[in-house]
């Protein structure tokens, strides 16, 4: 809302209300009126600020509230015991420009910092204490200090929240900050303010914003905006004393003319900006027309209204106030809201000391104006306001009416009463100048006081310049034409200013590194126009969320719709925020006991979400705010890109959850969530989203956008400025004496994971020799690694090595002057001078890989067994000598379905690419800088640390399969490597906690364990842990009754044949005999002596027992295995609810969902394995159909034309 009021030319119209009722007795609010009916007095506006709670009455509702917030103010009231200044226009004006004494600055600083750290819920922490200590030290040495970006943004919002004269404060959390504290000249001030106005105008969808210029230092070098408003009409005084234009602007118009400005003499000439930088003489600048949105005023019924030629500007931007935050004063801090209609219709157009159009319009309406009894003024005023509302709505420019504004303020006041114990308010200013007693604010008592941070009135800057200073500044001005030239001249500085103002944070969470690659690629695009940065979610300080302007999120989904490990902390924080602000985030058990907030990812898989800000009512933004409490992310714009596989039941669930809940917290969704399916079209979807979000972000922040396609199509960056160019990278030998980096330290630097060197104890194939397949029990020695801790259900991540034949095959096709066994160093050419690239160029070490040889890099650190990324193929095309091969590589490099089909039919290794394109040879530097990193492989741990201390057991199905055309054999990297290395070889390992798959903390709770094939892996650790629990109980008590305190454990296992792949048959039989397993149900799918069955069939056959265990006994169900099996099990459990409990389908679905919410339905899911080609192909077809349905024809054509309309490779 605007605070636009006449500055010095007269009192607020509300003052007449006070004067007109001055004879009423204030001490008694109610008197007996005619016929004994109670008559309500106007509320008392002159309450003294005292140290006790103050009761405030609402005479319309009869309710009473208590204000305690005023007790926190130290400001003296401008009223006394004998007189009230409540109706004064400017009761307190700051005339002293000298800075505060250091002791006062420190006192204010401590109070504000305490408020800030309480707000971010870090009060009385080490960070809080360190910040106060740093501020104290700075004030002691310099007399002042600098606010952080986050503190400034919070302080500016809080100052608006504390502004007692603003009726639209309910929107205080949505204030956009432009931090201009780094500027030094008036020209830079002008550039920033032009961008401020462009952003705020937003084609009529007005956005509240504030620009903060440098703080006051010694009082002699202030930055000031001389204008009262950034946009205001001139007032030309005529010789006869009349005024053309706005009479309230006469004095400032004369000042502008003395400075050299010449207006056109019209009624609606926009005044120039007069800006003072660093205490120097002011300079004036003509505002470009594109920065000024004006609305022609018409009436819905009176056609003649348009003939009056009236108009008004859309953005009310107050620029004369001082911002006071934590003892720091900012004399230049223009800010804007949007108009309430009466500010234009009543005050600006109809006040007698403004445009004074009441008589003119009344005559046009043919009203009798000679007598007040006709109420001609009221009737005219009403129609003028109707015209204003009609015109702004017709032009689709944001505005609110005074009734909605009043209602929103009452909601705001009630919320503030609950949140802070009070709400400072100036009744005289808050009550609208029209229909006053019809508005609820009229009947509400209010307490007028000042709390910090605050916006304060200050003396006009020209008063200090009158003694000679203005004369020296007479020629300092820039015309509209000159402004255009200046803006062009300062274009490069404008770009820097844009970067400073508009920050973009790109967050990613990943298990494999793909999300990070995409994040770095889109950062290359955004860094051209934004001050962008890329952070992993685990490295992001979540406190910054409330001060972010733009966030892009790129994340995968792990397991059963859960966040990746490096996104779990961020997910918990979002869940906590939602719970605090919405109450819509259920508590779930974490491992059986502790309560922890989490994102309910499954709930949002269907795309449920809160409407974005852009979808709210355009012309009355207060209506939506009335229904919501202040939301912490109201100032945030965001977009989410999810990576996943439609083979999983909860595709991109974590991304959907973040997208929905950021909206619930008040964020504005710039684009609908986009999904990248690894089975088909992931690259195309990312390119579409990247281009669209870049363009949308530039439009949102009013930035001229660059061509996005070339930027996003570049190679995958792996470090700053890592885009490939042949002359940019080189390989040189390492200096003598330099040793290869320790392998575990190398892995830590590459992946940020502390690995543990574990010796291979044994690797035994559990399947029969006649099987033709292999499932290995791998045992690792961890006895020397005391910090390697795990629980039953956790995962072990293993860093493998590539097969020797692949490494040799690649070495044969790369060009490198050095031996593949020599230690090498990658260097990148660093350019220091953009104007002369031949100067100051030097080679610097490229910090991507550790010190190693080319052979070791290909064997241990780089991914060569998977298909190369499409971007890499595009680069490699330049090194193919044969033109047809180069053309084919270019086509594959475009991504799309051509690339996807090639991958899923052949799944080629890097060696296969070289074999397919014989003329291709590439520089070694290309592979070393552009190949993806070799990622760890995750396996469920099959041992209990209590039973097998100093060891980790893994149950690993060895991956070996034929491609679709049976023309090549593919080998799983890690499973085959573990099966090929000798005992005592070192295996790098780290532990990934799987807290959602731990055994119940309540050991009485029964469990159903479902794991066909290698899915039995974690359950071996379960029954081993149960053996330890039983032994411990037996040692403590020694009675069978105590042993019965352990819940039943039913294992449901599935394999092909009992004699071939029932891999833990003897152990299961032994466990059942010992009472570790209550039941063992085994399904055989290909046993000639047994009926064909799957684990789902066994569950249904034992439906009553399963339902009893899950429902009455509140047991837990654990599922581990293939996604298809897991989905089928979920359906069977639902069908059991229908069949046994006679639930409806919908009730059964909610029952299963409830099991998940209560953390009693646990899943540890593999993706579709490469051996199940028919399932993979089906999923790809389904995913392609969905993607094609979602895409608009334009999107489809823009991406598919370049990839699908070409000949097959």
> Chain-wide mean pLDDT for the chain?
85
Please state, for a pLDDT cut of 70, what percent of the chain lies above it: 81
> Within 13 Å and on the Cβ side, how many CA atoms surround 215?
18
Per-residue pLDDT at 85: 80
Residue 984 has pLDDT above 60, yes or no: yes
Label residue 775 by pLDDT band (50, 70, 90): very high
- Residues with a catalytic annotation lie at 166, 169, 338, 343
Label residue 706 by pLDDT band (50, 70, 90): low
Label residue 1042 by pLDDT band (50, 70, 90): low
Domain co-membership, 697 together with 570: yes
Per-residue pLDDT at 621: 52
- Please provide the size of the chain in residues: 1209
Does an H or E element contain 1180, and which? helix 1173-1190
Domain co-membership, 949 together with 1015: no
Q: Where is the domain boundary, 965, 993, 1021?
A: 993
Residue 617 has pLDDT above 50, yes or no: no
Residue 846 has pLDDT above 90, yes or no: no
Label residue 1152 by pLDDT band (50, 70, 90): very high
Q: Are 545 and 120 in contact (CB under 8 A)?
A: no
- What is d(CA 222, CA 513) in angstroms, rounded to the nearest whole number? 50
Label residue 964 by pLDDT band (50, 70, 90): confident
Stronger pLDDT, 1078 or 464, i.e. the higher one:
1078
Q: Mind listing the pLDDT tens digit for each residue in 824-837?
A: 999 998 765 555 55
Least confident range from 42-56, 888-902, 921-935: namely 42-56
Residues tagged in the binding site annotation: 166
Annotate 668-697 with b (16+ C-beta within 10 A) or e (fewer): bbbbebbbbbbbbbbbbbbbbbbbbbbeeb
Domain co-membership, 1010 together with 1137: yes
> Is residue 1066 one of the residues assigned to a domain?
yes
Q: Are 307 and 290 in contact (CB under 8 A)?
A: no
Residues tagged in the binding site annotation for heme b: 166
> In 3D, which of 208, 204, 116 has the Cα closest to residue 171?
208
Q: Are 686 and 1188 in contact (CB under 8 A)?
A: no
Per-residue pLDDT at 1181: 58
Per-residue pLDDT at 632: 86
Q: Mind listing the pLDDT tens digit for each residue in 7-40?
A: 433 333 333 323 333 333 333 333 333 333 333 3
> Within 13 Å and on the Cβ side, how many CA atoms surround 879?
21
> Is residue 624 one of the residues assigned to a domain?
yes
Per-residue pLDDT at 496: 46
- What is d(CA 63, CA 250) in angstroms, rounded to the nearest whole number? 46
Per-residue pLDDT at 1188: 54
Per-residue pLDDT at 22: 31
Q: What is the CATH number of the domain that holds 796?
A: 2.40.30.10
Q: Mind listing the pLDDT tens digit for each residue in 379-431?
A: 999 999 999 999 999 999 999 999 999 999 999 999 999 999 999 999 999 99
Dihedral over Cα of 252, 255, 256, 257: its sign: positive
Q: Are 206 and 200 in contact (CB under 8 A)?
A: yes
**Encoded tokens for 489:** 């001249």
Domain co-membership, 750 together with 675: no
> In 3D, which of 1028, 1066, 850, 887 has the Cα closest to residue 947?
1028
> Is residue 183 one of the residues assigned to a domain?
no
Domain co-membership, 1155 together with 1033: yes
Per-residue pLDDT at 718: 38
Domain co-membership, 517 together with 567: yes
Say which residues have a Cβ less than 8 Å from residue 966's Cβ, sequence separation at least 6.
none
Q: Where is the domain boundary, 978, 993, 1008?
A: 993
> Is residue 694 one of the residues assigned to a domain?
yes
Per-residue pLDDT at 330: 98
Domain co-membership, 858 together with 946: yes
The domain total for the chain is 3
Least confident range from 816-830, 887-901, 1168-1182, 1191-1205: namely 1191-1205
Residue 172 has pLDDT above 70, yes or no: yes
Label residue 963 by pLDDT band (50, 70, 90): confident
Stronger pLDDT, 143 or 646, i.e. the higher one:
143
Highest mean pLDDT among 61-75, 466-480, 1114-1128: 1114-1128
Q: What is the CATH number of the domain that holds 540?
A: 3.40.50.360
> Within 13 Å and on the Cβ side, how many CA atoms surround 295?
28
Domain co-membership, 974 together with 1060: no
> Is residue 350 one of the residues assigned to a domain?
no
> Is residue 958 one of the residues assigned to a domain?
yes
Q: Mind listing the pLDDT tens digit for each residue in 711-734?
A: 555 433 333 344 688 888 999 999
Least confident range from 525-529, 850-854, 1068-1072: namely 525-529
Q: Where is the domain boundary, 993, 1010, 1045?
A: 993
**Encoded tokens for 1151:** 């029952």
Residue 295 has pLDDT above 70, yes or no: yes
Q: Mind listing the pLDDT tens digit for each residue in 487-502?
A: 444 444 444 444 455 8
Residue 539 has pLDDT above 90, yes or no: yes
DSSP string, 349-374: HHSTTTT--HHHHHHHTT---S-GGG
> Is residue 876 one of the residues assigned to a domain?
no
Please state, for a pLDDT cut of 90, what percent of the chain lies above it: 67
Label residue 1123 by pLDDT band (50, 70, 90): confident
Domain co-membership, 756 together with 783: yes
For the residues 964-987, what does the mean pLDDT come to? 91
- What is d(CA 1081, CA 108) in angstroms, rounded to the nearest whole number? 71
Domain co-membership, 967 together with 1029: no
> Is residue 785 one of the residues assigned to a domain?
yes
The pair phi, psi for residue 450, each rounded to 5°, is -120, 130
Residue 229 has pLDDT above 60, yes or no: yes
Q: What is the CATH number of the domain that holds 1156?
A: 3.40.50.80
For the residues 340-365, what does the mean pLDDT come to? 97
**CA 803, chain centre distance (Å):** 41
Per-residue pLDDT at 850: 92
Per-residue pLDDT at 647: 74
**Encoded tokens for 307:** 């003939």
Label residue 1177 by pLDDT band (50, 70, 90): low
Domain co-membership, 988 together with 1038: no
Q: Which parts of 231-305 fold into alpha helices (H)?
A: 250-258
Domain co-membership, 600 together with 667: yes
Strands 814-815 and 922-923: parallel
Q: Which domain holds residue 524?
A: 502-712
Q: Mind listing the pLDDT tens digit for each residue in 325-338?
A: 999 999 999 999 99
């Amino acid at each position: 809302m605007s605070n636009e009021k006449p500055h010095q030319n007269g009192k607020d119209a509300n003052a007449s209300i006070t004067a007109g009722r001055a004879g009423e007795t204030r001490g008694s609010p109610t008197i007996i009126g005619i016929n004994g009916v109670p008559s309500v007095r106007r509320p008392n506006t002159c309450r003294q600020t005292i140290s006790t709670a103050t009761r405030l009455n609402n005479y319309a509702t009869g309710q009473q509230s208590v204000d305690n917030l005023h007790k926190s103010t130290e400001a003296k009231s401008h009223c006394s015991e004998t007189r009230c200044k409540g109706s004064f226009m400017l009761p307190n004006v700051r005339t002293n420009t000298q800075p505060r004494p250091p002791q006062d600055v420190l006192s204010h600083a401590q109070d504000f910092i305490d408020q800030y750290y309480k707000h971010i819920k870090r009060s009385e922490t080490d960070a809080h204490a360190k910040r106060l200590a740093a501020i104290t030290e700075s004030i002691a040495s310099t007399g002042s200090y600098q606010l952080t970006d986050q503190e400034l943004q919070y302080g500016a919002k809080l100052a608006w929240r504390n502004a007692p004269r603003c009726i639209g404060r309910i929107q205080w959390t949505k204030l956009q900050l432009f931090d201009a504290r780094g500027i030094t000249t008036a020209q830079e001030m002008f550039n920033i303010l032009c961008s401020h106005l462009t952003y705020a105008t937003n084609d009529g969808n007005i956005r509240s914003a504030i620009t903060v210029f440098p703080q006051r230092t010694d009082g002699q070098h202030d930055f000031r905006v001389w204008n009262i408003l950034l946009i205001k009409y001139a007032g030309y005084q005529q010789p006869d004393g009349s005024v053309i234009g706005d009479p309230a602007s006469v004095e400032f118009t004369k000042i502008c003319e003395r400075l050299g400005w010449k207006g056109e003499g019209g009624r609606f000439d926009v005044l120039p900006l007069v800006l003072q930088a660093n205490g120097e003489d002011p300079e004036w600048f003509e505002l470009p027309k594109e920065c000024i949105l004006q609305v022609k005023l018409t009436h819905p019924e009176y056609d003649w209204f348009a003939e009056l030629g009236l108009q008004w500007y859309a953005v009310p931007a107050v620029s004369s106030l001082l911002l006071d935050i934590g003892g720091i004063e900012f004399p230049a801090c223009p800010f804007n809201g949007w108009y309430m209609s009466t500010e234009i219709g009543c005050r600006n157009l109809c006040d007698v000391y403004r445009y004074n159009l009441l008589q003119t319009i009344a005559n046009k309406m043919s009203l009798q104006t000679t007598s007040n009894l006709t109420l001609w003024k009221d009737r005219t005023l009403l129609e003028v306001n109707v015209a204003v509302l009609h015109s702004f709505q017709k032009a689709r420019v944001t505005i609110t009416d005074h009734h909605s504004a009043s209602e929103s303020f009452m909601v705001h006041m009630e919320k503030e009463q609950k949140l802070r114990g009070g709400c400072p308010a100036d009744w005289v200013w808050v009550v609208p100048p029209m229909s006053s007693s019809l508005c609820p604010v009229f009947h509400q008592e209010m307490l007028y006081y000042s709390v910090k941070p605050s916006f304060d009135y200050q003396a006009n800057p020209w008063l200090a310049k009158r003694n000679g200073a203005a004369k020296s500044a007479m020629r300092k001005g820039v015309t509209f034409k000159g402004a255009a030239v200046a803006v062009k001249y300062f274009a490069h500085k404008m770009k820097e200013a844009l970067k400073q103002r508009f920050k973009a944070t790109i967050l990613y969470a990943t298990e494999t590194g793909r999300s990070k690659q995409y994040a770095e690629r889109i950062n290359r695009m955004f860094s051209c126009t934004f001050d962008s940065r890329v952070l992993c979610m685990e490295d992001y300080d979540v406190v910054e969320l409330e001060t972010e302007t733009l966030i892009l999120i790129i994340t995968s989904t792990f397991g059963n719709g859960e966040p990746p490990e490096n996104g779990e902390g961020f997910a918990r924080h979002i869940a906590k925020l939602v719970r605090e602000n919405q109450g819509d985030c259920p508590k779930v058990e974490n491992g059986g006991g502790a309560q922890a907030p989490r994102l309910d990812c499954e709930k949002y898989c269907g795309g449920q979400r809160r409407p974005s800000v852009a979808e709210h009512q355009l012309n009355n933004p207060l209506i939506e705010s009335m229904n919501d409490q202040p939301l912490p992310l109201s100032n945030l714009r965001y977009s989410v890109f999810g990576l996943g596989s439609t083979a999983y039941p909860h595709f991109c669930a974590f991304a959907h959850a973040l997208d929905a809940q950021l909206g619930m917290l008040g964020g504005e969704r710039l684009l609908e969530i986009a999904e990248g399916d690894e089975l088909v079209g992931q690259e195309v979807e990312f390119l579409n989203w990247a281009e669209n979000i870049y363009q949308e972000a530039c439009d949102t922040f009013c930035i001229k956008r660059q061509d996005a396609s070339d930027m996003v199509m570049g190679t995958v960056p792996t470090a700053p400025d890592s885009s490939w160019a042949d002359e940019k990278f080189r390989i040189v030998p390492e200096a003598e004496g330099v040793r290869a980096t320790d392998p575990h330290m190398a892995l830590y630097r590459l992946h940020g994971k502390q690995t543990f060197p574990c010796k291979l104890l044994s690797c035994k194939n559990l399947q029969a020799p006649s099987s033709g397949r292999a499932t290995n029990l791998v045992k690792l020695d961890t006895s020397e690694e005391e910090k390697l801790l795990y629980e039953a259900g956790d995962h072990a991540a293993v860093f493998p090595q590539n097969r020797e034949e692949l490494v040799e095959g690649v070495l044969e096709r790369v060009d490198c002057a050095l031996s593949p066994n020599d230690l090498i160093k990658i260097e990148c050419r660093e350019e220091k001078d953009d104007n002369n690239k031949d100067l100051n160029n030097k080679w610097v070490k490229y910090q991507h890989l550790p010190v190693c040889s080319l052979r070791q890099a290909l064997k241990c650190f780089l991914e060569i067994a998977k298909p190369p990324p499409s971007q890499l193929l595009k680069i490699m095309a330049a090194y193919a000598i044969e033109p047809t091969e180069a053309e084919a590589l270019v086509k594959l490099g475009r991504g799309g379905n051509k690339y996807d089909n090639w991958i899923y039919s052949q799944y080629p290794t890097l060696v296969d690419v070289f074999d397919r394109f014989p003329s291709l040879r590439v520089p070694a530097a290309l592979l070393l800088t552009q190949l993806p990193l070799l990622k760890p492989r995750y396996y469920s741990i099959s041992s209990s640390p209590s039973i097998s201390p100093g060891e980790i057991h893994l149950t690993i199905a060895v991956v070996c399969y034929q491609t679709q055309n049976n023309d090549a054999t593919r080998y799983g990297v890690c499973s085959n490597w573990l099966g090929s290395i000798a005992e005592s070889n070192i295996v790098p390992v780290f532990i990934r906690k799987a807290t959602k798959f731990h055994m119940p903390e309540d050991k009485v709770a029964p469990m159903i364990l479902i794991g066909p094939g290698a899915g039995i892996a974690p359950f071996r650790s379960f029954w081993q842990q149960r053996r330890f629990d039983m032994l411990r109980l037996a040692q403590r008590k020694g009675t069978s009754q105590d042993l019965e305190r352990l819940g039943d454990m039913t294992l449901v296992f599935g394999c092909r044949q009992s004699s071939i792949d029932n891999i833990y048959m003897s152990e299961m039989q032994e466990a059942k005999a010992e009472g570790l397993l209550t039941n063992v149900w085994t399904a055989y799918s290909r046993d000639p002596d047994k009926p064909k069955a799957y684990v789902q069939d066994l569950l249904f056959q034992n439906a009553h027992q399963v339902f009893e265990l899950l429902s009455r006994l509140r047991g837990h169900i654990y599922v581990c295995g293939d996604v298809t099996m897991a989905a089928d099990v979920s359906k069977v459990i639902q069908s059991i609810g229908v069949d046994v409990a006679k639930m409806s389908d919908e009730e059964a679905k909610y029952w299963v969902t409830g099991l998940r919410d209560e953390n009693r339905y646990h899943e540890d899911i593999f993706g579709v394995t490469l051996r199940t080609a028919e399932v993979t192909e089906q999923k790809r077809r389904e995913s392609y159909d969905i993607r094609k349905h979602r895409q608009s024809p334009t999107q489809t054509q823009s991406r598919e034309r370049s990839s699908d309309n070409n000949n097959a490779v």
